Amino acid sequence: MFEYTDLFQRGVGDTTDIVQKEMYTFEDRGGRSLTLRPEGTASVVRAFVEHKLFGRPNQPTKLFYIGPMFRYERPQSGRMRQFTQFGVEALGSSDPAIDAEVIALAMTFYRQLGLKNLKLVLNSLGDPESRKAHREALIAHFKPSIHEFCKDCQNRLEKNPLRILDCKVDHDHPLMASAPSITDYLNPASHDYFEQVKAILDDMGIAYELDPTLVRGLDYYNHTTFEIMGASFGAITTLTGGGRYNGLVSELGGPETPGVGFALSIERLLLALEAEKVTSTNTERLDCFVAAIGDKAKQKTPGILYNLRRAGLSAERDYMDRKVKAQFKQADRLLAKFVIVIGDEELEKQAANVKNMATGEQQEVSISELVDYLRSNIK
């Protein structure tokens, strides 16, 4: 939940808004400077290096995380000071197919939940050589008029001119729109890499828009950067941000290791679902509901349920003393595929009556064969 402040200063970058203005930083009793994590990537890479995951044979290392993040931002709809990120990181490969796979994962995730209004925005920041050439062009572009910009931008000019492009204060200055585009400074290797990522996305049938101004608010990116925008909920439409960060592992003390990933917040996801009026995303169905009639049958239910679950089937029962009809209703609410009915008569034969809820078909099945019967009948 918190890290040494230094991790984010080095990882996220000490000229970024996140580090300069948005971190919850405090001293612990030992006088060390700690920070509530504003994002997950730096922490994942710290752990990757600390636990030497790069030494394992199964590369690339694919990781995910879900947890609270903290940024001292101005709260509004979709922007909280504590929010929950779900993120993935793939470390160890610089194959452009991994970039596309990471992007496809985020898109599939949203689509499966029922979101339709999605826009993938893509850019490449190139390799360090390309970025250096772009950096020089940015300095030359802004330098003559830098006094018209905010204090932060004036500081950023020499340190990190790319950060001027995502300044929230000087957003509308005319020099912003005419600033040199990174796309014109990509060297052949970076250009070729980006072409490959796009070709794979084309092949997957994932549409995207190119936006050379997509520089992202964190310093560790190079090559592919992307954001996924959704239906608007207030001023904010970005649902996901991510990209490639090939220098971060070595920056944080590990061996030269490429990486790529994304993070999205659950809060913005919920707002997007609401904005698109997706009411229920629950498509998960219960394999079977065990309905008991009479006290003897009720006594038998826990054992049956336990064995069904141990066999890997999802199973539920009634705990509210419902009548049979109400138990069937509950089974319906849980979208049960089968209802197993046990009454006195069935118990005597060590059997149950199994109803297929889709077809209405009923079949007597011996209790010892319930698992096999359900397994072979559940699609």
Residues forming contacts to ligand HAM in the complex (CB under 6 A) are 39-41, 71, 73, 78-80, 83, 85, 87, 89, 217-218, 238-243, 261-265, 267-268
Distance CA 315, CA 252 (A): 47
Minimum distance, C-beta of residue 106 to ligand HAM, in the bound complex (Å): 10
Minimum distance, C-beta of residue 2 to ligand HAM, in the bound complex (Å): 16
**Of 135, 110, 119, 100, which is closest to residue 224 (Cα–Cα)?**
100
Closer residue to ligand HAM (CB): 25 or 356: 25
Closer residue to ligand HAM (CB): 218 or 342: 218
For residue 11, give both structure tokens: 């990882």
Distance of CA 310 to the CA centre of its chain: 31
Closer residue to ligand HAM (CB): 89 or 287: 89
Minimum distance, C-beta of residue 96 to ligand HAM, in the bound complex (Å): 16
Distance CA 5, CA 61 (A): 25
Are the C-beta atoms of residues 269 and 239 closer than 8 Å to each other? yes
Closer residue to ligand HAM (CB): 161 or 261: 261
Minimum distance, C-beta of residue 236 to ligand HAM, in the bound complex (Å): 8
For residue 328, give both structure tokens: 């069937």
DSSP 8-class letter at 337:
S
Minimum distance, C-beta of residue 221 to ligand HAM, in the bound complex (Å): 7
Closer residue to ligand HAM (CB): 88 or 336: 88
The alpha carbons of the chain give a radius of gyration, in whole angstroms, of 27
Closer residue to ligand HAM (CB): 71 or 223: 71
Distance CA 328, CA 71 (A): 48
Chain position whose Cβ is nearest to ligand HAM:
241
For residue 223, give both structure tokens: 């090559």
Minimum distance, C-beta of residue 72 to ligand HAM, in the bound complex (Å): 9
Kindly report the three-state secondary structure assignment for every residue of 236-271.
Answer: EEEEEEEEECCCHHHHCCCCCCCEEEEEEEHHHHHH
Are the C-beta atoms of residues 143 and 136 closer than 8 Å to each other? no
